[in-house]
Amino acid sequence: MRVTEENELKKTAFLFPGQGSQAVGMGLDLYEEYDFVREIFEMTDDVAKANIANLCFKGPMEELTRTVNLQPAMMAISLSCLAAIEYAGIKPDMAAGHSLGEYGALCAAGAVSRFDGVRMVNKRGLLMDRESVKYDGAMYAVIGLTIDEVTRLTEQVDGEVSVANHNMEKQIVITGSPDPCREVADLAKSLGNKAIKLKVSGAWHSRLMKGAKQEFSGFLDEIEFTAPNIPVVHNVTADTCADPGKIRSMMVDQICSPVRWYDTMLGLIADDVEVFVEVGPKKVLTGLVKKTLPDKWPGSLCNVNDLKTLEKFVKAMA
């Protein structure tokens, strides 16, 4: 949190992005500047048994975007940005992450170690990639309908299709088998709304990932979870939790459950968060927050993804 000119503390939330925010070159200047960032990448390379650093800095994008590479890559970038912020002496009051980003939020809260965070996302990426090879999947962004309206459309269609992400009030992502997803998208269009097919390799957050969920549950039994130092708003419930065992269970459920991001943002706003900080590449979450905030909202939106944005953020928090 920071102190304003009126000496009032402003509640700060760190937000961690997920897949879709990647860019070739991400994290390079932080890597060149800080020894601790290089250590994070070395750890990630060791866990993933791949040159994640080289993929982040040089690409190619096609290889970086592969789920098995992208999940540890995004985690390495988020942890690097987080470490740089903490090195500047700034810590959040709350945290949340979109899908994969929830693991960064758990690390920010001290609920899991950074090493275990990288281990978990690496395993998660391997398992989800395996299931995406077994089952053809698709995802569409439906724009213009509420969550209840989209849910009703999915119930009208036979086959595997469900809600994956509730990103804004009327921006919902559906997931599942290709044909049922296309039918729901066509129904949405017939009602005068937009439905955009997403470039993904699997039906993320759908029941088609249940094989990954089952094996991931066993893997997480090896991971030590502790009570978070700050509240983390979870994707599955859009609520906080202090019980390490329940947090572990939610991270298993998250693989097949919808990401309740819109409800998460409403909850943070209701909790009087006034400074939202996107910790990681691009500004996807910042854009979603901006469109969710009420008119004349008094707080500020920030992002930290390189040395320039880090310096700007630190100055703003001084």
CA distances from 194 to 132, 140, 142 (A): 26, 10, 6
Coil, strand or helix at 274: strand
C-alpha to C-alpha distance for 94 and 150, rounded to whole angstroms: 30
Distance CA 115, CA 47 (A): 9
Nearby residues of 237 by Cβ (< 8 Å), 6 or more positions away: 250, 260
DSSP conformation letters of 128-145: HHHHHHHS--EEEEEESS
Among 90, 97, 177, 189, smallest CA distance to 145 is for 189
CA distances from 40 to 49, 91, 300 (A): 14, 19, 29
Active-site positions read 99, 205
